[in-house]
Amino acid sequence: MHRIINKFYWLVVFVLIIACHNKPTDQTEMEEAKNINFEMKVEKVGEWEGKGVFKYDLDNGFMQVQMTNFGGIISRILVPDKDGNLENIVLALDSIPQYFTGNGPYLGAAVGRYANRIGGASFDLDGVTYEITKNLGENHLHGGRKGFGVQVWDAESYDTDQSIGVKMYYLSKDGEEGYPGNLDTWLYMELTADNELKVRFESTTDQKTVVNLTNHSYFNLGGITRDVRDHEIQIFAQSYTETDDQLIPTGNLLNVENTPLDFQTPKNLGDQMELNGGGYDHNFVTKKENSSDLIGIAKVKHPETGRVMEVFSTAPGVQFYTANGMRDFKGADGKVYQPFWAFCLEPQTWPDSPNKPSFPTASLAPGEKYVHEIVYRFEVKEQAKN
């Protein structure tokens, strides 16, 4: 069923170098064209449940991204600081095989079939009630006990004039974690000449179901040397979904203005956390209804290193999470991750949408296609001098 054959399954290491040109010269501004040398290294690093697991290292000459077909995980993002020092800016494990059984926090994973929470671990579709896995008390989180982030995806690499990437495929079978329908999902992850990491999910089904997919990377633009209180955060949202004490939406939307959740203008995260009495785990409303429009939803700066990340998405919401539950977690390079050592910006459909008729729908019917595109754009800026 539309399976992708990975032409690298029998290779240990394959290096692909592609030369391409930057964008054409703008009509109103002359700029020097430059060559971009892309490099991709592919290495088989193990097997899981009888399938080959590969590591993909992508390099565009400015930044590097490492990913794997296990869980569709982004396992490294290396970006230079204002002095040219290249550092990893996402929480990680030392090796890909460690993710097989040690990724409880969903580090860098593709999460689904439904990202975030579904209250009561059940929902109705066309008069039929579906009971899905309870893996967060009485509720459902991130697709259940064995969601998309712990599956081996079929994969193959690809390139365009302005990017290199990996195309992955996973079939979520009817009844998996309680969800109806066979869901075919394609995941495209690519690094561009414009220093963008693009993530795109596409899904089709043979039976009406619900779907909500995202990437769950934990970012620390400071190079993961301490917590993220010194980051400057801006989220382009005027409201958020109110929740109960189990973080299940009540159905109400609340205005962020003049509250600790007001990130409409850039705010120091530490100052906002002090006002909030702790960290964040909130869904911000970036659209009131579903659309295919790719819009800017957040911008994050780290003044000390000069790193800047912008986030774009076609989804109607974004979950802002400050790793509140991270405690004494042994990560890569001998580091032990603690609360607030990273933040997640998870673009997605609003939590518990299957049980909230007033929320943008998460349902997908045969003949329809679910598409969710996410773009992370990186740059480095010198701090303005007084």
pLDDT tens per residue across all 386 residues of the chain: 434 334 343 343 444 443 343 333 343 333 333 457 899 999 999 999 999 999 999 999 999 999 999 999 999 999 999 999 999 999 999 999 999 999 999 999 999 999 999 999 999 999 999 999 999 999 999 999 999 999 999 999 999 999 999 999 999 999 999 999 999 999 999 999 999 999 999 999 999 999 999 999 999 999 999 999 999 999 999 999 999 999 999 999 999 999 999 999 999 999 999 999 999 999 999 999 999 999 999 999 999 999 999 999 999 999 999 999 999 999 999 999 999 999 999 999 999 999 999 999 999 999 999 999 999 999 999 754 43
pLDDT of residue 383: 57
Report residue 259 as tokens: 């509250």
Q: How far is CA 93 from the centre of its chain?
A: 17
Query: Residue for token digits 């990680």?
Result: 92
pLDDT of residue 68: 98
Strands (E), 212-349: 214-216, 232-235, 239-243, 249-255, 267-268, 281-285, 295-302, 307-313, 317-321, 329-330, 336-337, 344-348
Domain boundaries, the chain: 70-380
Q: How far is CA 178 from the centre of its chain?
A: 24
Q: Name, in order, each residue with C-beta under 8 angstroms of 75's C-beta and a sequence gap of 6 or more.
A: 55, 66, 67, 68, 90, 92, 93, 96, 99, 107, 108
Exactly one of 156, 176, 177, 346 is catalytic; name it: 346
pLDDT of residue 22: 38
Exactly one of 216, 282, 302, 372 is catalytic; name it: 216
pLDDT of residue 239: 98
pLDDT of residue 120: 98
pTM for the model stands at 0.91
Query: Is 231 one of the annotated active-site residues of the chain?
Result: no
In CATH terms, the fold of domain 70-380 is Beta-galactosidase; Chain A, domain 5 (2.70.98)
Report residue 368 as tokens: 């329809």
Contact between 236 and 251 (Cβ < 8 Å): no
Query: Is 190 one of the annotated active-site residues of the chain?
Result: no
pLDDT of residue 20: 40
